[in-house]
A and B are shown apart, each in its own frame.
Chain A
Amino acid sequence: MARIIVVTSGKGGVGKTTTSAAIAMGLAKRGHKTAVIDFDVGLRNLDLIMGCERRVVYDLVNVINNEATLKQALIRDKRCDQLFILPASQTRDKDALTTEGVGKILEELAKDFKYIVCDSPAGIERGATLAMYFADDAFVVTNPEVSSVRDSDRMLGILSSKSRRAEKGEEPIKEYLLLSRYSPDRVKLGEMLSVDDVQEILSLHLLGVIPESKSVLNASNSGTPVILDELSDAGQAYADIVARYLGEDKPHRFIEEEKKGLFSKLLGRK
C-alpha cells in the first residue's frame, strides 16, 4: 500500500517545493517508486525545481477533468526512473480541484507507487486542504521565525481535524517537523529561534534540520533537486531526512555551529 506524504507549512516561501522535490528524489533514488504531485494550481513551480518544465503536456486538472489519463500526465524523471512528476495547471485556479477528483487520482497512483509526495500550496485554502486531506504522513516545513512557527501550528491543527483520517476516526496523520533555512550562528546571536524554541512551541517529532545554504538556490535555478548535490550541506540534510523517515537512526546535524575542520570532514562523507 502506498504511503501518501504531504509537504505543508501554511506559510509561503519556507521551502515546501524544494523539500517535496528533494524528498521525492531521495525516496526514488533508494529504489522506491515515487510520484510527486504539485497541488499549487495556478502557481506551478515544482516542474521548475525538478527541471521538467519543458516536458509538461497534461496536468493535474486535466486528469481530474478526464481530459487526459494519469499515464499521459505523469512525467518520468530523466535522472531517476523510479520518480514521476504530476505537474499542476498554470492556467486554472484551485477551484478546479475536487475532493473526488484528487481522491481518484491518489487511489489510482496508490496501485502502482510506493510513495506519493503531495506538494501543498501555501495557505489553508482549497489547494492546501486537498493536498493534505488524503495524507498518511505530513512533513511540516518550518522556518525558525515566529510567523512561520505559528502558521505551522495552525496547519497542524487542520491536519488533526480536517483530514480523511480524522473524519473517519482512523489513526491520525503522522506529523514530522522539518526545520529549514536554519542558521546556527544566527541562532547563537539570538536572531533566530533555536531548534528547542520551535520544538517547545510545536511539540513535534523533528525529522531533520536543513541549514540555510546557497546550494538550495543554485539547485532551484538549475532545476536539480538539492538532494542530488551530495557535497552540499542542504543536500546531505535531505538525505538524512529521507533515511530517518525510512527508519534509519541518524544523529541530527547542522544544529550546532560547525567548526571549519569538522565541516570539511563532513563534506567528505557520503
Chain B
Amino acid sequence: MSTSSPTLQKAALEFKSTSLTVPVLLLASNNLSHIELQLKEKITQAPEFFKNSPLLIDLQKLNSQNLDCELPDLVKLVRDLGFMPIGIRGGSEQQNHIALEIKLPVHSMHGTNAPITNKPEPKTIAVVEVEEAKQPEQNQENKLITQPVRSGQRVYAKGDLIVTATVSAGAEIMAEGNIHVYGTLRGRALAGVLGNINSRIFCSDLQAELISIAGIYQLSDDLSPALAHKPVQISLDNQTLIIKDI
C-alpha cells in the first residue's frame, strides 16, 4: 500500500471499527408463507420502525433443526417487505456460499465462522429481536481502591473509579467513566478516557498535577488557586473543563 504519493497531502480515508445495534431475524421455520404472514403482523405493529430497517438473518436455529431454506427467495421476501438485509449468520457452508453469490455478507456467530449445526437451541423464541451488539456495558467494571495510589502507580477502570485514599503526585488514575477521590488528589486524573464527555471527576481535595475529561486536560499550573485544596467536581462543558466546589 503506497501512502507516499506526492499528490497525497492528507489521508482521504481511514478505517475504523464500530458496533451497531441491528435487528436480527431469528428463523424457526423454513415455510416462507408462514414467515411472510408473521413478519407482516410484526410490521403492522410498528411500520415506521421496520421501514428500510437493516436486518441480519440468523439461520442457526433452522440449521439446528436440519431445515434448509431457499436463501434467495427469503432475501427477496424480506426486501419486498421493506427490510434491507445486511447479511446472514449461523448458516451452513452451502448457505454461506449462496449468500456470497447474491452479494450478501456472511457474519460470524459470536466470533466463530463455522456453521453451527449441533449447538443447543437458543433460548429466545421471538421471531424478531433487537440484539445489542457488544455495547460497552456501563456500571459493570467499576473499581474501588481503598489503598493509597502511590507515585508511579497506574490504575485503570473500565467503568467508574472510586478511590477512598490519597492519590500521590506522580500517580495516574484513569477511568472510562467517572472518577471519585475521597482523599487528596495529587496525581493525574483522567476521566472518560474513551471519549465520554459526560464523565466527571470528584475529589475532596484538589491538588492534581493534571485533570482530564475525554481528552480535554488542564495542568495544575492553570488551575485557579482559589479551587486548590477544596472539594470540587470537574465536568466538561463545550470543550472546557468546569471546576466547581461542592
Residues of B near A202 (CB, < 8 A) are 148
The answer to the question of A228 belonging to the interface, with a C-beta cut-off of 8 Å to chain B, is no
The answer to the question of B235 belonging to the interface, with a C-beta cut-off of 8 Å to chain A, is no
Residues of B near A150 (CB, < 8 A) are 151, 168-170
Complex partner residue of B168 from A153, A158, A161, CB under 8 angstroms: A153
Contact B151 A153 (CB under 8 A): yes
Which residue in chain B gives the minimum CB-CB distance to A155? B150
Residues 160 to 174 of chain B near chain A (Cβ within 8 Å): 165-166, 168-171
Which residue in chain B gives the minimum CB-CB distance to A156? B150
How far is B67's CA from A230's CA once the two chains are assembled, in angstroms?
94
Contact A153 B150 (CB under 8 A): yes
Which residue in chain B gives the minimum CB-CB distance to A201? B168
How far is B238's CA from A256's CA once the two chains are assembled, in angstroms?
52
The answer to the question of A154 belonging to the interface, with a C-beta cut-off of 8 Å to chain B, is yes
The answer to the question of B184 belonging to the interface, with a C-beta cut-off of 8 Å to chain A, is yes
Minimum C-beta distance from A105 to chain B (A):
28
Which residue in chain A gives the minimum CB-CB distance to B187? A153
The answer to the question of A171 belonging to the interface, with a C-beta cut-off of 8 Å to chain B, is no
Residues of A near B111 (CB, < 8 A) are none
Residues of B near A160 (CB, < 8 A) are 147, 150
Looking at chain B, what size class is its interface with the partner chain?
A: 10 to 19
Contact A203 B150 (CB under 8 A): no
The answer to the question of B120 belonging to the interface, with a C-beta cut-off of 8 Å to chain A, is no
Contact B166 A157 (CB under 8 A): no
How far is B147's CA from A203's CA once the two chains are assembled, in angstroms?
10
Residues of B near A203 (CB, < 8 A) are 148, 165-166
The answer to the question of B118 belonging to the interface, with a C-beta cut-off of 8 Å to chain A, is no
The answer to the question of B239 belonging to the interface, with a C-beta cut-off of 8 Å to chain A, is no
How far is B167's CA from A156's CA once the two chains are assembled, in angstroms?
13
The answer to the question of B198 belonging to the interface, with a C-beta cut-off of 8 Å to chain A, is no
How far is B169's CA from A158's CA once the two chains are assembled, in angstroms?
15
The answer to the question of A170 belonging to the interface, with a C-beta cut-off of 8 Å to chain B, is no
- Asked, given contacts A201-B168, A203-B165, whether A158 binds B152 with beta carbons under 8 Å apart, the answer is yes
Contact A153 B170 (CB under 8 A): yes
Residues of A near B186 (CB, < 8 A) are 201
Residues of B near A151 (CB, < 8 A) are 151
Residues 174 to 209 of chain B near chain A (Cβ within 8 Å): 184, 186
How far is B149's CA from A150's CA once the two chains are assembled, in angstroms?
12
Residues of A near B170 (CB, < 8 A) are 150, 153-154
Contact A161 B148 (CB under 8 A): no
* Interface flags, A155-179, vs B, CB<8A=1, else 0: 0111011000000000000000000
Residues of A near B65 (CB, < 8 A) are none
Complex partner residue of A154 from B147, B150, B184, CB under 8 angstroms: B150
Minimum C-beta distance from A28 to chain B (A):
32
How far is B148's CA from A202's CA once the two chains are assembled, in angstroms?
8
Q: Could you pull out 20 A-B pairs where Cβ atoms are within 8 angstroms?
A: A150-B151, A150-B168, A150-B170, A151-B151, A153-B151, A153-B168, A154-B150, A154-B152, A156-B148, A157-B150, A157-B151, A157-B152, A157-B171, A158-B150, A160-B147, A160-B150, A200-B184, A201-B169, A201-B186, A203-B166
Residues of chain B at the chain A interface (Cβ within 8 Å): 147-153, 165-166, 168-171, 184, 186
The list of the 6 closest CB pairs from A to B, nearest first, reads: A157-B150, A153-B151, A154-B151, A157-B153, A154-B152, A153-B168
